[in-house]
Structure 1
């Protein structure tokens, strides 16, 4: 059933009463005229009393069908009087001398009244069935609206306006702490806020035709003609649906809040675990090396002192990297990453990004012909550093290559792409089936004894997305992992910034 058809049936059914007024008027007219016409025909044809009674009974049934039980009874009584006057001896008089005739006429009245009552009840049940079917169509439509509509509250109000024939429908709520206490819903000017409305919907419910309570502090307001009892029944159905929708919305908000709290709790727990374990490891190394150097009776040669100092420096760098990743993750989750975008070349940010990895562990391919990208130079350096350090740490002995090229996204927009590829060796940890799991914070996939907090890739993706780029992982053919970093391409400019004698970082 289409929406228009369903609404048409509803409006038609709600316009019906037990018997429509015009049909009642027509029924009374039939009750007066038909018995007289039947009697005239009977007298003209010369029919006997039995045939005349059957014909009059038919007329009474017709009056009951058209106008209900009252016109049917009127037709039966009027027909009895006509039969008695014109066909019962002595004719021309209402007196009856034969007892049998009295019984016959009485039976005629009873049968006519019984038939009229049955017809009336049948017509009434039919009208009730029409209303029930129409109301069922409305309730079915309401259920579909609640499930499928993007804005179920506004959709329900629009349905209520159309089905109930209102000029306007609105939902009002009482602000917290405003209005009388104790749940008093008396309409007070300025005490309500309109949350949604369709049609003629003023800012205040003052002067509305109907004010229906929805829940504590919420009312459904209609402007227009007064509602019938059937329409008020449908209005209660709309109110029940609004209650269900608002409860669902509150549950959805509560669910989102609970999820956010659970995510925050997981993040806090993970940070505490990182602080208690991963950060404690470099601190313990620094403490041990520094305590050894400060021993008053210890004698260390220059080489040993240098080794202890190098240990302190290495652990301090590791600690600094972990703290920076934790701070970056905090800024990313809080949406507080400060980004200064501008044109940048891959080759210009690579030296700083490769500073922390051993010399010769990464091969950088020629990038002279690659166009500039739109990025924050400091952030993109951090991203590449995290990717390269992750590859060196988790794929020891692998051939690690950094290459860049110009490419295009699926929508046709130009972008620059940088790939960090490790291949030729088995990673120290098995890769997950879904490579997206690599970007979940604090995930290290069994490498709990290694350095780091499992934040490098998560931070790299967050910083990349803050610059308007993308970062994803691919499996390297033949084994290994490839990280693919894409950033929007800058508009091509004259090649005036090419450094004289600039190297290509090859063999780093």
Structure 2
């Protein structure tokens, strides 16, 4: 941000206060010395008359006024008139004047010199004010740019305040509402941001109150009244930036709360509808087996037990998906990453899918990928079960071949392909929306979390999951994970903690 400040030459005028003490002192010295030098030159080099000498001295008085302003200019005018009277007016060598016309001439000289000094001083002050106003406008313009463009507007504003006012450091303190100071009942102030050699506590510098909860503490020289007025623009911007940041935080918190509420509502709907079906089936089967009046043969008992087992497996999958979705939304997925071959996880991932409905096409050139074995097995299981559920009459093909390039990185790819006729949304991304189901009857088991959970777990391992339409009909899920060849050697990596 210092580049922004230094890029405006008008900022130097912020330090101007009138003509400045240095110019007044220099003008006072000239007011004493210059008329003597001019008078000496007039008498030694050029034997001028009173009128010519008056014009030359008037020019010197104007020069003094240009340098030092009204006071040195008036001093030079009076001093020049005395020199002219003493050396140029008869009788010379005396301050007495016997000619009324000469008196009038000297009085006019003093009046004209004083008037010129007043005009020059007023012009110089107006010029200084104009430069100051231009500098302040430049600073305000930079402030607006900082608020809009800076990554950390508060820190940038502090740095710019330090540069503009030539301070050693600037610090921003916020009051802690919950902690009181060790002595007395005064509030405790915590450092929010600092620039330069900032004061460590509010007592170490000049305190400017931003509001009842925030202090701006300046380290270095004392500021003038005009500079303090400009400093209020910085404090106003700090308040605006802080309020905007608090609004952003509040909005994010509200979004998280809204997502949590939506998740809770969806879970309640799932529990009230989808989870009740397998629970009711389990209860009915077990109640039938335990009924004293029931007379079941071995085949019927086995059928009821198999039904109970099927419903229990459905219930297990639903509960696991609900728990996984909760972990994903809470960013609590821990992935222990290491090199894996697809063949390492496929047998476990396909346990719940009929073996005669699955074809494997894993090429020998398929690279090892970096993944968590348990999470990867869960991802593939969800994809295969989703294909088996929505395309029951289709064969499911899992294809893994050569690595592919994606965003400049080498990725291992596994495709889960079905050729079913179930309808899919126009926008395939809708498939990954939690609790979203696209079957019309609602008769398929599940709570609409399988694909959402699969994508969340894939991303937790640094991979991607997207859907494509299978040529001729059906759906293809494309899972990509980083290849092991690009990973450094050493211990496994842990992600998502």
Matched, 1:382 2:375: no
Root-mean-square deviation (Å): 3.9
Matched, 1:22 2:19: no
Deviation string 1:289-308 (CA, Å, 9 cap, x unpaired) is: 77788899999999888777
- Give the whole-Å Cα distance in 2 for the aligned partners of 1:369 and 1:407: 8
DSSP-derived class of the 2:209 partner: strand
Are the equivalent residues in 1 in contact too, given 2:170–2:199 (CA < 8 A)? no
Counterpart for residue 439 of structure 1: 432
Counterpart for residue 178 of structure 1: 180
Counterpart for residue 78 of structure 2: 77
Are the equivalent residues in 1 in contact too, given 2:423–2:439 (CA < 8 A)? yes
Counterpart for residue 196 of structure 1: 193
DSSP-derived class of the 1:120 partner: helix
DSSP-derived class of the 2:139 partner: helix
- Give the whole-Å Cα distance in 1 for the aligned partners of 2:479 and 2:252: 31
Are the equivalent residues in 2 in contact too, given 1:394–1:429 (CA < 8 A)? no
- Give the whole-Å Cα distance in 2 for the aligned partners of 1:89 and 1:468: 104
- Give the whole-Å Cα distance in 2 for the aligned partners of 1:342 and 1:59: 89
Matched, 1:222 2:249: no
Counterpart for residue 317 of structure 2: 321
Counterpart for residue 350 of structure 2: 354
Counterpart for residue 469 of structure 1: 463
Pairs aligned (count): 481
- Residue 323 of structure 1 deviates from its aligned partner by 1.8
Change (3 A) 1:247 1:101: same
Are the equivalent residues in 1 in contact too, given 2:77–2:114 (CA < 8 A)? yes
Matched, 1:456 2:458: no
Give the TM-score normalised by structure 1. 0.79
Matched, 1:391 2:384: no
DSSP-derived class of the 1:59 partner: helix
DSSP-derived class of the 2:180 partner: coil
- Residue 180 of structure 1 deviates from its aligned partner by 8.9
- Give the whole-Å Cα distance in 1 for the aligned partners of 2:134 and 2:126: 12
Counterpart for residue 429 of structure 1: 423
Gaps of 5+ in 1: 186-190, 492-508
Are the equivalent residues in 1 in contact too, given 2:62–2:116 (CA < 8 A)? yes
Counterpart for residue 147 of structure 1: 148
- Give the whole-Å Cα distance in 1 for the aligned partners of 2:54 and 2:440: 104
- Give the whole-Å Cα distance in 2 for the aligned partners of 1:63 and 1:334: 76
- Residue 123 of structure 1 deviates from its aligned partner by 0.5
Counterpart for residue 263 of structure 1: 259
Change (3 A) 1:204 1:7: farther
- Residue 445 of structure 1 deviates from its aligned partner by 4.4
Matching residue within 477, 481, 484 for 2:475: 481
Are the equivalent residues in 1 in contact too, given 2:370–2:484 (CA < 8 A)? yes
Change (3 A) 1:96 1:168: same
Change (3 A) 1:115 1:438: same
Matched, 1:31 2:24: no
- Residue 117 of structure 1 deviates from its aligned partner by 0.7
Gaps of 5+ in 2: 486-497
- Residue 84 of structure 1 deviates from its aligned partner by 4.3
- Give the whole-Å Cα distance in 1 for the aligned partners of 2:182 and 2:101: 76
Are the equivalent residues in 1 in contact too, given 2:360–2:398 (CA < 8 A)? yes
Counterpart for residue 364 of structure 1: 360
5 Å-filtered alignment, 1:297-308, equals: none
Are the equivalent residues in 2 in contact too, given 1:432–1:438 (CA < 8 A)? no
Counterpart for residue 241 of structure 2: 245
Counterpart for residue 268 of structure 2: 272
Are the equivalent residues in 2 in contact too, given 1:31–1:74 (CA < 8 A)? yes
Are the equivalent residues in 2 in contact too, given 1:31–1:60 (CA < 8 A)? yes
- Residue 460 of structure 1 deviates from its aligned partner by 1.1
Matching residue within 328, 341, 344 for 1:332: 328
Give the TM-score normalised by structure 2. 0.81
Are the equivalent residues in 1 in contact too, given 2:10–2:135 (CA < 8 A)? yes
- Residue 457 of structure 1 deviates from its aligned partner by 0.5
